[in-house]
Structure 1
Amino acid sequence: MLKQLLHKTFSISLALVVLFSTVSFTIEKHYCGDVLVDVAVFAEAEKCGMEAMELAQKKSCCKDEIDVIVGQDELKVSSFEDLEFEQQQFLSAFIYSYINGFESLPKQTIPHKDYSPPNLVTDIQVLDQVFII
């Protein structure tokens, strides 16, 4: 039970690591002066409404800061041929010994499988006063 739970937890955590390492996203921040007005992830940050005033004054007090977090574009996939010869030999020997290390047991026949014991009329140990101590 515990082994299965740990196995599932470990599998899910590895899947999440792969997912988050390949996802790219953008964090956009809008500042009005030195005050942070809005922060948005995956969307555009809301403006403070000072843009119309800035066009008339030709001076900008607002600024947008964009942080792009780039994930991996491609995952490295290695093949057996990419390994060195000694590593290939070790891996082949390990897999061969692992697979052949588990042999199935011969099917055992149980001769008394269908035998039903006789009905006991009295308890013989109590009748003969013989007890295992």
Structure 2
Amino acid sequence: MLLALLVLFSTVSFTVEKHYCGDILVDVSVFTDAEKCPMEHLEILQKKTCCKHEIDVVLGQNELKFSSFEDLVFSQQFFFTTFTYTFGDFFKSLPKKIIPHKDYSPPNLIADIQVLDQVFII
């Protein structure tokens, strides 16, 4: 399961968008567009900008190597089959134990005989 998660996270690509107003970081976004600062609309009219938009792309792995059992050398195939055949028996479940007194309910306790007769084990 750990290897499957490792393959999944190594192949996922994503972008990190950062929007700055001057030197101040306004918004950081991973999967959606970064929110722009309200001053940017005024800067478009004045045709000068102090806002900066950075996009960092984290690329995942594109090429995965798929290999089959036939690609292995004979000694590796022999070891793998022997290993799975030998250690496959360790993971079989144990037989269910039969508990004969599972549904037995003890009789109701009317009086504690040891206290009534004043007989105690010391």
User: Shared fold (TM-score greater than 0.5)?
Assistant: yes
Aligned residues: 88
> Is 1:64 aligned with 2:49?
no
TM-score normalised per structure 2: 0.60
Residues 97, 14 of structure 1: CA spacing in aligned structure 2 closer, same or farther, 3 A cutoff? Answer: closer
2:22–2:51 contact (8 Å) kept in structure 1: yes
Give TM-score, length-normalised by structure 1: 0.55
Q: 1:47 aligns with which of 31, 36, 56?
A: 36
| Residue of structure 2 equivalent to 1:25 | 14
Q: Percent identity?
A: 62
Q: What is the RMSD computed on CA atoms of the aligned residues?
A: 2.5
Unmatched 5+ stretches in structure 1: 1-10, 105-133
Superposed counterparts of 1:1-133, under 5 Å: 11=1, 13-80=2-69, 82=71, 88-95=73-80, 97-98=82-83
Structure 1 residue 74 displacement after superposition = 3.1
The answer to whether the 8 Å contact 2:13/2:58 transfers is yes
1:42-61 CA-partner distances (Å, limit 9, x unpaired): 00011111222112221110
Long gaps (5+) in structure 2: 90-122
